[in-house]
Amino acid sequence: MSAKLAALQERQHQLQVQAGRERKAFAANFEPWEKPLSWADKGVDAYHFLKSNPLLWTSAFAALAHYKPKLASKVLAVGWGVMKLLRGTKKLL
């Protein structure tokens, strides 16, 4: 039984060393992607915040429409186009 236990402990040690090497290799390959992915993560967080607070973005658009109506109409047209594009893409997936 102790020979089996010693073999298991040796195997565990080998796997831990291998996992450490793989972690270091992954970290080295991941480093260039870290900043762009953090920006993408911030964008996703902002999207979820705006999605959960519709009064905020509705008020912001109302203020924009009041002070800059031409810009608001352009924003509305672009937003409507993006919504149609996203819905079409969603149906394809």
User: For residue 58, which of 6, 66, 87, 88 has the smallest C-alpha distance?
Assistant: 66
Q: Provide the pLDDT for residue 19.
A: 96
User: For residue 76, which of 46, 84, 29 has the smallest C-alpha distance?
Assistant: 84
pLDDT score of 70 more than 90: yes
Q: Provide the pLDDT for residue 50.
A: 85
Q: Provide the pLDDT for residue 93.
A: 72
| Residue 57 one-letter amino acid | W
Residues ≥6 apart with Cβ < 8 Å to 7? none
Q: Say if residues 72 and 65 touch (Cβ distance below 8 Å).
A: yes
Q: Say if residues 50 and 56 touch (Cβ distance below 8 Å).
A: yes
Going by the DSSP 8-state scheme, the letter that residue 91 receives in this structure is H
Q: Please, what is the average pLDDT of the chain?
A: 89
